[in-house]
Amino acid sequence: MTQRFGARLGAAVLVGAVALQLSGCGSTIKPDGAAKSVTDVVSQQTGFKPTDVKCPSGVDAKVGQEFDCHFTGPEGPYTAHVKITSVNGQDVGFDINSRRS
């Protein structure tokens, strides 16, 4: 039996303190924290657990900021588009949508 990996996934996820790092002028998203969130969402939605999620560094932790993470799915490369929906202290809410690249 073959499990189909959906071309588009959507879910909101709340990420804890590991997702932020403090810089001189404010807070930025930790790439490893964002990558863990993408891994968690994709795993929960599809049963496939990506092992090579890469997210950019230097993304300001501000509502409305958007960035792309990349990973390899069972059918090739995928992009997870991430939008910050809330920032409350060290907690950051994301909306994550994945699609085949």
Q: What six digits make up the tokens of 17? A: 């303190």
pLDDT of 25 reads 57
Q: What residue segments make up the domains of the chain, in order of their start?
A: 10-100
Question: For the residues 62-87, what does the mean pLDDT come to?
Answer: 92
Average pLDDT over residues 45-69: 93
SS3 per-residue string spanning 23-59? ECCEEEECHHHHHHHHHHHHHHHHCCCCCCCECCCCC
> Per-residue pLDDT tens for 8-45?
444 444 443 335 554 445 688 989 989 998 998 888 88
Bigger pLDDT: 99 vs 8:
99
Averaged pLDDT, 37-65: 92
Average pLDDT across the chain, whole number: 78
> Per-residue confidence at 78, pLDDT binned at 50, 70, 90?
very high
